[in-house]
Amino acid sequence: MQKRTLGKSNLEVSALGLGCMGMSSAYGPAADKQEMIALIRTAVERGMTFFDTAEAYGPFVNEELVGEAIAPIRDQVVIATKFGFDIAPTGERRSALNSQPDHIKQVAEASLKRLKVEAIDLFYQHRVDPDVPIEDTAGAVKDLIQAGKVKHFGMSEAAAQTIRRAHAIQPVTAVQSEYSLWTRDPEAEVLPTLEELGIGFVPFSPLGAGFLTGKINEKTIFDASDFRNISPRFTPEARQANQAVVDLLGEIAAQKQATPAQIALAWLLAQKPWIVPIPGTTKRHRLEENIGATAIELSPDDLRAIERAASQITVQGARLPEAVLKMTGR
């Protein structure tokens, strides 16, 4: 698989990474641990080197899963994890956010143990904490980098001005936010800021939480614990309205002898050379399908055609419940 460098950093990763959250949480019951370990190792065999987790996924169990999976192949992979929530050792969230410097350092120590690594390759602030100056957060990560416990600093769902302030204290290697053909918010301010500062971009949910694969319609029933049950964009009415996006992907896919998911990923890869999407999956055939997207070339004419068609579509429904959205774009 091709490699990409995240911004001006020296952090080189596969052009496509693997989001591991869904293996343990958010999309229904956790998948079988041994099967997921095998899936991660298969991804490495297929050229993937970039794996995304967080203490909040589970909580804790996703980091443990990734740590066990990569133990024999640690030197071949880049591991990203996250801090920023206030999670008790028992796994209960005590309050929404906590980016106090002392807490960040405690989280780093715990994540190092769960991941079975000597240093965290990329340590993201999961969400900006409005109660802690971003300079203090960046300074805490800078301390961890100087101590050799973290290699690179990242931010997730942060606003452009906050990224600038953090970057001035400790260079930010990558920013992670939701970005896809149906969630284009980062284009207005975040992407130009990242280009200016030389920061990489890691789109999560690049397949629209599965919707852009074309395998979900208004009649699809989700598991009771699946977050899509409370997402405004996944009401049956919104799904029916948003089918237009999938239809567009399907038209391009037919021309390219590809799948809608592959076109959605290829579109992201074509936006900038420093963009590295991290689609998640628990299925080997989906992993293979996603990897296939890296071989699809979208010409400037293709991209213009997609842009023209997409501009005629109004996506229905907020991408996240209001309470969760409030923690983004700070």
**Strand pairing category for 50-52 and 18-19:** parallel
The pair of structure tokens assigned to 125 is 């602030």
Per the listing, tokens 């452009």 go with: 160
Residue-by-residue DSSP string for 91-152: S-EEEEE---HHHHHHHHHHHHHHHT-SSEEEEEESS--TTS-HHHHHHHHHHHHHTTSEEE
Report DSSP letters for 178-227, one per residue: E-BTTB-GGGTTHHHHHHHHT-EEEEESTTGGGGGGT---TTPPPPTTBG
**3-state class of 253 per DSSP?**
helix
The Cα–Cα gap between 203 and 279 comes to 8
Catalytic residues: 57
Work out the angle between the directed axes of helices 284-292 and 260-271 (0-180°, nearest 10): 50
> In residues, how long is the chain?
330
Beta carbons of 121 and 111 less than 8 angstroms apart: no
